[in-house]
């Protein structure tokens, strides 16, 4: 029997851990899963609703860390996670993605001599100003088992000198969640409630500090939206960080003046899936949404200068457009004229069975 602590902390972790925990419960003779929530995200809309939507069991332990500076948040997760690992004595700790909780918990384990597996290992944007890039690099250096979503990740790890025996290509576990929930999301009433018509609206998400904490960059993106929303209504579920910076940067009036840009609270997993899967176009700076839109063949414009998920550009619908106003507008009009990329060759192992391969690797 393998006792595994599965760590979740922030919104993008829940849809990666849910199918893994479900798979462990199906292999109950072999696995005893525990869920530890660090509390990095804590608003109902950023956390609780995902447990419900994804049928993720309530955490066995909640560390209640909350928001703080990077150093304070990372340190608080470490301090509170260490006694849990000491008392539970797990065989494995499983961390996912690239948030501060991922690195903090991996570092606790390696210092205690407890084995740690990193799901979604090996992704690299090569942009070290991005906090997640530091979390990815350091977690991969110290984790015992690196579970990768695609072969570009394996190549990145090998180029960093990581021995092949620590690396296992398992595929994209977020696509497990996507495929398991695509049918259930049809029950969502979100499109009806928002009064939008299938394939006749865009969806926008923005939360990267490099976009929303910088007045110049945020203004360039808003200028593009002023043009795009002249022809396409855009729904914008607003991340709490972004809600705060819109007010702090004095952008509230400018945002409100775009009558076709509709700001709403963050959505749960099923409502968001229902919304973006019927969109004509998605504009985002998220990592996961680049993958989800590619998997479903929805045109995606990534409002960043780089991506740690180049396979979505190579095989999927993603175009990395940066944050220059005219480039965003040109790419959006190409998408609206039907000349957007629509190729959807699914990368190998984005097949809904990554969680089973993760369990095989742990065994
Ligand atoms: C974090 C992750 C990022 C991920 C994102 C997804 C790091 C370094 N960043 O960024 O990789 O893409 O989550 O959402 O781990 N806040 C709330 N309620 C919440 C959570 C946050 O109001 O439930 C507000 C707080 O003001 C907080 C701010 O949002 O200071 C930022 O939260 P934080 O967790 O520090 O980073 P994110 O931008 O959410």
Residue-wise pLDDT for 272-321, tens only, equals 999 999 999 999 999 999 999 999 999 999 999 999 999 999 999 999 99
Instruction: Show the DSSP H helices in 3-58 as ranges.
Output: 11-26, 48-54
Please state the atom number of ligand 1 nearest to the C-alpha of residue 208.
Answer: 38
Give the mutation target among 50, 240, 242 for probing the ligand 1 site: most ligand atoms within 8 A of CB. Answer: 240
| The dihedral formed by the CA atoms of 360, 4, 157 and 169, expressed in degrees to the nearest 10 | 20
**Strands, sheet with 31-37, edge to edge from the N-terminal-most edge strand:** 61-62, 31-37, 2-8, 92-96, 116-119, 145-148, 167-169
Residues near ligand 1 (Cβ within 6 A): 10-12, 40-43, 46, 67, 98-100, 131-132, 207, 239-241, 244
If we measure between CA atoms, which residue out of 47, 49, 108 comes closest to residue 77?
Answer: 108
132 alpha carbon – ligand 1 mean position (Å): 12
Instruction: Give the residue whose CA is nearest to atom 18 of ligand 1.
Output: 43
- CA 108 to chain CA centroid, Å, is 23
Q: Is 207 a catalytic residue?
A: yes
Give the mutation target among 15, 41, 64 for probing the ligand 1 site: most ligand atoms within 8 A of CB. Answer: 41
Residue whose entry in the numeric block shows the structure tokens 């703080």: 68
Which of the following is catalytic: 192, 207, 239, 345? 207
What pLDDT does residue 345 have?
A: 79
Hey, what are 66's tokens?
Answer: 């909350």
What pLDDT does residue 346 have?
A: 85
104 alpha carbon – ligand 1 mean position (Å): 15
Residue whose entry in the numeric block shows the structure tokens 């809904």: 352
Instruction: Give the residue whose CA is nearest to atom 21 of ligand 1.
Output: 41
If we measure between CA atoms, which residue out of 319, 241, 279 comes closest to residue 43?
Answer: 241
Delineate the domains of the chain, giving CATH numbers in brackets: 2-172+350-362 (3.40.50.2000), 185-337 (3.40.50.2000)
217 alpha carbon – ligand 1 mean position (Å): 19
The parts of the chain modelled with pLDDT lower than 50 are none
Residue-wise pLDDT for 198-252, tens only, equals 999 999 999 999 999 999 999 999 999 999 999 999 999 999 999 999 999 999 9
pTM over 0.85: yes
Please state the atom number of ligand 1 nearest to the C-alpha of residue 45.
Answer: 23
């Amino acid at each position: 029997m393998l006792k595994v602590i599965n760590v979740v902390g922030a919104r993008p972790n829940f849809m990666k851990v849910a199918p893994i925990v479900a798979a462990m419960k199906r292999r109950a003779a072999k696995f005893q899963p525990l869920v530890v929530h660090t509390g990095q995200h804590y608003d109902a809309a950023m956390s609780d609703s995902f447990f419900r939507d994804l049928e993720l069991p309530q955490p066995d332990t909640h560390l209640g860390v909350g928001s703080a500076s990077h150093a304070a948040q990372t340190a608080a997760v470490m301090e509170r996670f260490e006694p849990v690992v000491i008392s539970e004595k797990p065989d494995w700790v499983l961390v996912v993605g690239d948030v501060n909780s991922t690195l903090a918990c991996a570092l606790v384990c390696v210092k205690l001599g407890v084995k740690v597996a990193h799901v979604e290992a090996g992704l690299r944007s090569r942009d070290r100003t991005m906090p997640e890039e530091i979390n990815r690099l350091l977690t991969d250096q110290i984790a015992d088992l690196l579970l990768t979503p695609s072969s570009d990740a394996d190549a990145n790890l090998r180029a960093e000198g990581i021995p092949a025996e620590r690396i296992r290509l398992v595929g994209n576990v977020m696509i497990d969640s996507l495929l398991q929930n695509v049918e259930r999301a049809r029950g969502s009433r979100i499109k009806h409630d928002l009064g939008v018509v299938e394939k006749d609206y865009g969806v926008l998400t923005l939360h990267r500090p490099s976009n929303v904490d910088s007045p110049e960059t945020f203004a360039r993106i808003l200028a593009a939206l002023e043009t795009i929303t002249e022809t396409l209504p855009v729904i914008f579920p607003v991340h709490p960080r972004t809600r705060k910076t819109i007010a702090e940067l004095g952008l509230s009036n400018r945002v409100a003046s775009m009558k076709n840009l509709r700001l709403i609270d963050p959505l749960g997993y099923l409502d968001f899936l229902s919304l973006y899967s019927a969109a004509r176009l998605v504009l985002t700076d998220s990592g996961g949404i680049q993958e989800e839109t590619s998997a479903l063949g929805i045109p995606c414009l990534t409002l960043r200068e780089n991506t740690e998920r180049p396979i979505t550009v190579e095989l999927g619908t993603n175009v990395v457009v940066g944050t220059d106003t005219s480039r965003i507008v040109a790419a959006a009009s190409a998408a609206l004229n039907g000349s957007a990329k629509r190729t959807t060759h699914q990368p190998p192992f984005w097949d809904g069975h990554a969680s089973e391969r993760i369990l095989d690797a742990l065994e």
